[in-house]
Amino acid sequence: MSKNCQISYKFNQYIKQYINKNNRIALALSGGSDSMALFYLLQQYVQINNKKLYIFTLDHQLRRNSRQDIQYIHQWLDPYQKYIAKHDLNK
């Protein structure tokens, strides 16, 4: 089993204890490497387990390019539309 498969398997086994029965999972996505890795693992989990992943983004406006970061995240998420719902908290 590859290292990625091992991580994904361990994550899926661990996260089950924290997912409630309503089939919804929320994730605040910043675009940083940690939240993007967590998104990758969660989107695999929701596909396998027929759950829905709600992605929340917030433009904090602390950096000049923060709006572009949010736009990039939303474009990056487009292929996953079947499994996720995007929510921009600035709207």
Evaluate whether residue 12 is within a structural domain.
Answer: no
What is the extent of the structural domain holding 39? 24-88
Evaluate whether residue 76 is within a structural domain.
Answer: yes
Question: What residues have CB less than 8 Å from 2, skipping those under 6 apart?
Answer: none
Q: How many domains does the chain have?
A: 1
Evaluate whether residue 14 is within a structural domain.
Answer: no
pLDDT in tens, 37-47: 999 999 999 98
pLDDT in tens, 26-68: 999 988 899 999 999 999 999 888 888 999 988 888 888 888 9
Model confidence, pTM: 0.81
Evaluate whether residue 5 is within a structural domain.
Answer: no
Question: Domain containing 45 — which CATH number?
Answer: 3.40.50.620
Evaluate whether residue 39 is within a structural domain.
Answer: yes
Evaluate whether residue 57 is within a structural domain.
Answer: yes
Q: What share of the chain is helix, strand, coil (3-state, %, to 5)?
A: 55, 20, 30
